[in-house]
A and B are shown apart, each in its own frame.
Chain A
Amino acid sequence: MIWQLDLIILMIVIVLGIGALTVKDLLSAAVLFGAYSFMMCLLWAIMGAVDVAFTEASVGAGVSTVLFVAAVFRTSRRTKD
């Protein structure tokens, strides 16, 4: 585990998580959440959990982003908070 890389990616993860919750557009929130999942995948690859990293990259960053974007296009992009 390289602790410098670990620290940087942990900071990016926090920023992306807060950004996905605070942004005013739901499509942007979905894309930011996809980036958050991908950074989590990098974090697990650093910690040596390669199988979890594989699954997160395909299922977490891939499928859930597609599901989110599809749901946003079927409903509305507008949000009050």
Chain B
Amino acid sequence: MDELLTILISRINYWVYIILMMVGMYGIIIKKNLMKKIIGMSILQTSVILFYVSIGAKKNATIPIIEHGHDTGHAAVQATHYINPLPHVLMLTAIVVAVATLGVALALAIKIYKQYNTLEEDELIEILKEKEF
């Protein structure tokens, strides 16, 4: 029991990552409103970013900036003293891409609202079916 608790606490970031990903999936699939779907998509994206940043975290390590690193001649550093910065750099790109997709999705939602005067998915499907016949 004690070991299980230790494992649960030491991996708590990954558990929260799984929960947030499920919440985002639920928002995308179950919710009928287009805005709610977009919010679910954003939560899904941030959960993946949380996973990647958690990979790079280390115990007893500091942020990856070398103090007095420039022009001292001591270029070699101990890698265990610094958090791994590679996932951070990857996720910097992911955040910018997330905002770009959010902007496009909201622009499409506004366009749909202007055309059909609703944001609910079931009402939209009804209107499109009526148009077909």
The distance from the CB of A52 to the nearest CB of chain B, in whole angstroms, is 5
Q: Is the CB of B53 within 8 A of A14?
A: no
User: Which label, helix, strand, loop or mixed, suits the secondary structure of the B interface?
Assistant: helix
Q: Does A10 contact B (CB under 8 A)?
A: yes
Where the two chains meet, the residues of B that have a C-beta atom closer than 8 Å to any C-beta of A are 9, 12-13, 16, 19-20, 23-24, 26-27, 30-33, 35-36, 39-40, 42-43, 46, 49-50, 53-54, 56-57, 59, 61-64, 83, 87-89, 91-92, 95-96, 98-99, 102-103, 106, 109-110, 113, 119-120
A residues within 8 Å of B by Cβ?
Answer: 1, 3, 6-7, 10, 13-14, 17-18, 20-21, 26, 29, 33, 36-37, 40, 43-44, 47-52, 55-56, 59-60, 63-64, 67-68, 70-72, 74-76, 79-81
